[in-house]
Structures are given as C-alpha cells and as structure tokens.
Amino acid sequence: MDLSPVCFCVRMDLLHNASVSQGQAGVEFQAVERLLQYFPANPLQETLAQNWILMTSRFSAFQIATFGSLILHEVSRSRFQPFEH
C-alpha cells in the first residue's frame, strides 16, 4: 500500500469524516488510487520513514512537539522579520 503524504492525508480525512458513507468512501479511495498512479514515487519516502522511526524511538512526543514548534516559530519569524545588521 502506498503511504505517500497526499494519499495518507486523503485516507485519514475519509476515515475521520463521519458524513461519508462506507460505499462512498470506497469509491473515493479508488479515485485517489487511480489519480496517484500518475504521480512519480517519492524518492525520500524511505529515508524519511527511517528517520521518523529513529526520532520517535529517541525522543518523547512532548520533546518532538516542543522542538518542532520552536523550529517553526524561528523559521516563520526569520522569514517575515529579517535579521538586522
């Protein structure tokens, strides 16, 4: 089964959407699968999966969330507020 980010997000959205009936979800899954056939394989998928497993085995969810939040904050801050010389 292909677990590319696009496919995974669509599948999770369908699984959590209570208003989608089981039959309709199956049809939508098939449509997504057909659409994904035209996309190239992600060459970084295996590397990212290995690093994700390594990261989650070394750090707690709290540490990952905290550092992820700090990194995102710093990146967005530096993007909109350039460093002053």
Query: For 37-57, how does the pLDDT look when each residue is reduced to its tens digit (9 = 90+)?
Result: 898 888 899 999 999 999 999
What is the predicted pLDDT for the residue at 1?
Answer: 44
What percent of the chain stands above pLDDT 70? 65
CA distances to 10, 12, 19, 22, 85 from 33, in Å: 10, 14, 21, 17, 51
Predicted TM-score (pTM) of the model is 0.45
> Predicted confidence band at 27 (pLDDT cuts at 50, 70, 90)?
confident
Tokens of 36: 């994904």
